Amino acid sequence: MAAHAAGTAVAAAPLAGPVSAADAQRLALERRAQQLAQLGETLVTWFKTLASAAVYATLIVTFGFQVARVEGQSMVPTLHDQDRLIVNKLAYRLHDPQIGDIVMLYYPLDPDKSFVKRVIAEEGDTLRIVDGHVYRNDVLMDDSYVPPEYRSHDDWGPEVIPQGYYFVMGDHRNNSSDSRVWRFVPKKYIIGKVQLRWWPISTARLF
């Protein structure tokens, strides 16, 4: 008896026909829409990132730190004209300014302007200057950071610093407008402590 092998029938796949111009245009439009949607998502992400950065920067500047630039020579040789600084505005919310701190302050005679000076005396101190030598409570202050060519030979005081005020001076003693001229600085006018010189990079340092 003859045996017949079972065969499997395979259906032939239909041949792909040419894509019509209308279909090609539709596919191109779909791809374009997808690209635009992806671009829109990217732009939204970037906008959120930039908006967040702006908010953080505003909070930092308002409540924490401030970028400042030195103008003039009154703090030479410690700071130079056009040095860039970071000012810590939180420092004096935690404690009072300390003797020797370099601070950013509002100019008492015109608060629209700001200066950078060094704290020399605080409220209750008796201060006098004799031939450029500064005595705080009758003790000669260490001013070794002032080179001989920047020293002054003026006299001032003696005088007691009033409550709530500070006496400040520039390190360039013979070329600085400071408390010797416009007297005392209210504590509320001290913006913050100069924490860092970040530019020029070659002279960057903490204070």
User: 186: phi > 0 → left, psi -120 to 50 → alpha, else beta; which?
Assistant: beta
Tokens of 44: 């939204």
**Residue with token string 């003790």:** 139
- State phi, psi for 194 to the nearest 5 degrees: -70, 115
Q: Cβ(183)–Cβ(107) under 8 Å? A: no
- Check residue 200 and report its DSSP letter: S
The SS3 call for residue 55 is helix
φ, ψ of residue 68 in degrees (nearest 5): -135, 160
CA 3 to chain centre: 94
CB-based contacts of 203, cutoff 8 Å, min separation 6: 83, 197
89 assigned to active site: no
Q: Is the peptide bond before 158 cis (omega within 30 degrees of 0)?
A: yes
Catalytic residue among 20, 114, 117, 177: 117
Asked about 117 being catalytic, the answer comes back as: yes
Looking at 20, 52, 74, 179, which residue is catalytic? 74
Check residue 150 and report its DSSP letter: G
- Positions marked active-site: 74, 117
